[in-house]
Every structure is written in C-alpha cells, then in structure tokens.
Amino acid sequence: MPGPPYRHLGPLPHLTAEDLREPVRALLADPTAEVTGWTGEPIGYESWSRASDGLYAVRGTASGDGGDHAWDLVLKQARHRPWTPGPRDLARQIDDGGDAPADWAYWRREALVLGSSLPYAVAGRFAAVRCLGIVPGPGDRLRLWLERADGLPGEAWSARELLDTAQFLGGFHARSLRRPPPSRPWWCRPFLEQAALRGRFALIERVADAETSADPAVRGLFRPGTATALRSLERRHAQAVRTMRSLPAGLVHRDLTPRNLFRTARGTVAIDWGQAGLGPAGEDLATLVLSSAVAADLDAAATLALGGAAAARHAAGTADEGGPCDPQDVALAYRLVAAYHFGLPVVRIADRLLARDAASRAETAADPGTRRRVAVMTALLEEAQGDL
C-alpha cells in the first residue's frame, strides 16, 4: 500500500437515524431527541497519519422534548493501515511504520485520548474538541463523532491569535503538570524518541557535500558549519533524550499546526489528538510556533522573534494558573524540539538538491522560499548547540 500523504475525498458513508441518534442527543443534551433529517459531505484534506480514514461534515434536524433543533457534527473515521516504509520514507516524516500502541500512527490513540476525558481534566481556554461518541466498525475501523469547531481556523490567524493561544496553552500545561495524566501504553512517543529520526541522521553527510560543492549556487545555500551542527545533533541525541525525560511531563498534543486549531469565543479548540502523550510543555510550544511560522513563510529573524514572544505569553499563562511550569524548562524543550524536528529536515533539502541536474540545482538554490527555509532551519540548529 502506498505511503503518506493520504488524501480523502470519498462520499459520505451510509448512515442511519440510529447511527446519528446518540451523538445528536449528546450534542443537544436532550435524551429524547430523534433525528428527523440530515445531509453531509466530505471535508477534503491531506493527512500524514496512516490512521486517518476520512472526515465528513454532517448536519440536520432533530425533534424532542426540548423542541426542534438544528445540529452540526463532524464524523472522523480512523483505521488500521499497515505500511512498510523505505529509507527515503523515514527521512520524509516521523512515521516509522510501526503499529505498536506507542508508535506515531497508532490508529486507536485519538479515540482513547478523547474517550478518556483526560483533555477535559485540564480544560480551560485551551481545550480539546468535544467528542460525542466512539463507534467501532468492521475491518479495524473506528468512527469518532465530534462537535464542529466553530471559530477562526488557524490558517487565518494573525500573530495576535497565535500569541493568545500561546498564553491559553500555558494555562493548559500548568493545570496538566499539577495533575498529570497516568502513564498509558498508548501515549505517543516524544519527537526526540521517534525511531524515524535515524532516517534523517543518515543524510547528514549530504549537507557536508553541499557545503563543499563545486557548484557555487549549492555551496552558497548552506552556511559553513551546518553539517558540524547536524553531526552534533546525532552525536548528542541520547543525551538530548535524557534531558527531555528529566523535564516535568504533562499532557501534550504534539501536532498544533494551524489546521488543527480554531479560535472561538471561549478560547482555542484543538482537534486531532492522534499524537498526544506525556512530555514537557516546550514540545507543544514548538509545534504551535514553528508550524505557524513555516505556514506564514517567516524568515529566520521573524521566526526567532515569534518564538520569544510566544514563550513570554506562555509563561504569563502558566503564571495566571499559579505554575508550576518553569519557563527555562519550557525554553529548553522548545529549542531541542526545534532542532531535531524542525531543523534536522534541512538534510532532505540538501539531498534533493544534489540529486538534480545542474540547471535545476541552480534554479532551486536561487529560489527565495528555499533560501528562507534553509536559513530558518539553520538558525534553529544553531540555537540548540549550547544545549547539547
């Protein structure tokens, strides 16, 4: 079976009034509600998770003791999808093809997280989307009925919404650290402990080749010393893992990309908890800031400045809740995740560039977007060198 990204545009699955009854009753808080009509359509999206098996908007009407109501739900399907990645796949993304409960694409994880009510134990102005029902299906499949997140999607945020969310997130982490969730075998492994990192380590020498290339366009793209910084990441990886494990751990989402966030009147709602687990707060702050920075095409200076501003707001959010997040611990975890998860992929740019013919190399090396990405990745690598 081909690997990710997976694209889902199939038709709405067959549904009956019985399928919809319980999630609609939960949404309306009316145990007498009966569905009187509905319609739905797929929500087109691209996913890097093998567990993803379709997303649908379903809306309709219901009648009960509370009167007639309109309702709006999201149906998310998950499935077990075996996949055996090759070496290049391991360098592309962090799914190593494993199917154990702690592996990145464990297909039951989101249902287990949302079904456990753990996000609500620390709910506040940053909270998980409300889950209204989990239904097993045939062939290793699950249906998750979710409340529709009604708010400004992360892709449309300005810096203000992002920084507000950093503050809300700080409160979330403070509450979680005061009352951490229990250890579970199905928590996702932290970024620094993903086995697939070795696929990127294997390409480090491609950056060294680019730094010394006879082609000036290629050579000028990579700052001298980048390969040395990358070798340091590989050499000190075990130490970095020990450092991350030593930091206070609470509930973390690990996938706070713009498409997974919505700003509502109450605060920020996060969807897609499929990579949730235990870890230091800086893991979440890094994905929140750096995923948004990548989406907005920020340059290196703006990315570092946004990270500093978000860290200050996160600290304010933890202080509002009375701690116990230590801003220094958050910053340390942020820098290590920034380097290993967002900086290390610079090896793939070097690898792809060196595989091109001379004309294509020159064109790619001169592309402003490529130059900006390499500069950001290099800055993140350099920021973490003192921590290694």
Within this chain, do residues 284 and 136 fall inside the same structural domain, yes or no? no
Beta-sheet pairing, 261-263 with 268-270: antiparallel
Within this chain, do residues 186 and 213 fall inside the same structural domain, yes or no? yes
Query: pLDDT value at position 3?
Result: 77
Q: Taking the complete model, does pTM exceed 0.85, yes or no?
A: yes
Within this chain, do residues 59 and 200 fall inside the same structural domain, yes or no? no
Q: Please check whether residue 17 lies inside any domain of the structure.
A: yes
Residue 195 belongs to what domain range?
152-387
Within this chain, do residues 136 and 219 fall inside the same structural domain, yes or no? no
The CATH number that applies at residue 308 is 3.90.1200
Q: Please check whether residue 97 lies inside any domain of the structure.
A: no
Within this chain, do residues 142 and 156 fall inside the same structural domain, yes or no? no
Q: Please check whether residue 101 lies inside any domain of the structure.
A: no
How many structural domains compose the chain?
A: 2
Per-residue pLDDT of the chain (388 residues; tens, 9 = 90+): 577 888 777 889 999 999 999 999 999 999 999 999 999 999 988 888 999 999 999 999 999 998 999 999 999 999 999 999 988 888 888 899 999 999 999 999 999 999 987 776 777 899 999 999 999 988 899 999 999 998 999 999 999 999 999 999 999 999 999 988 999 999 999 999 998 899 999 999 999 999 999 889 899 999 999 999 999 999 999 999 999 999 999 999 999 999 999 999 999 999 999 999 999 999 999 999 999 999 999 999 999 999 999 999 999 999 999 888 899 999 999 999 999 999 999 999 999 999 999 889 889 999 999 999 999 999 999 999 999 8
Query: pLDDT value at position 352?
Result: 93
Within this chain, do residues 356 and 329 fall inside the same structural domain, yes or no? yes
Q: Please check whether residue 23 lies inside any domain of the structure.
A: yes
Please say which residue of 147, 177, 199 terminates a domain. 147
Q: Please check whether residue 118 lies inside any domain of the structure.
A: no
Please say which residue of 98, 114, 147 terminates a domain. 147
What are the φ and ψ backbone dihedral angles of 41, each rounded to 5 degrees? Answer: -155, 155
- Residue 344 carries which side chain, given as an amino acid letter? L
Q: Please check whether residue 123 lies inside any domain of the structure.
A: no
Q: Please check whether residue 183 lies inside any domain of the structure.
A: yes
Within this chain, do residues 332 and 367 fall inside the same structural domain, yes or no? yes
Radius of gyration from C-alpha coordinates of the chain: 22
Q: Please check whether residue 110 lies inside any domain of the structure.
A: no
Rounded to the nearest 10 degrees, how much is the dihedral formed by the CA atoms of 261, 308, 120, 31?
-30
Within this chain, do residues 269 and 381 fall inside the same structural domain, yes or no? yes
Within this chain, do residues 177 and 66 fall inside the same structural domain, yes or no? no
Please say which residue of 113, 147, 181 terminates a domain. 147
Burial 317-332 (b: 16+ CB within 10 A, else e): bbeebeeebbbebbbb
Instruction: Show Cβ contacts of residue 375 under 8 Å, excluding neighbours closer than 6 positions.
Output: 223, 299, 300
Within this chain, do residues 139 and 224 fall inside the same structural domain, yes or no? no
Query: pLDDT value at position 1?
Result: 59
Query: pLDDT value at position 99?
Result: 93
Within this chain, do residues 199 and 132 fall inside the same structural domain, yes or no? no
Q: Which helix (H) or strand (E) holds 311?
A: helix 300-320
Among candidates 128, 129, 242, 124, which has minimal Cα distance to 174?
A: 124
Within this chain, do residues 235 and 353 fall inside the same structural domain, yes or no? yes
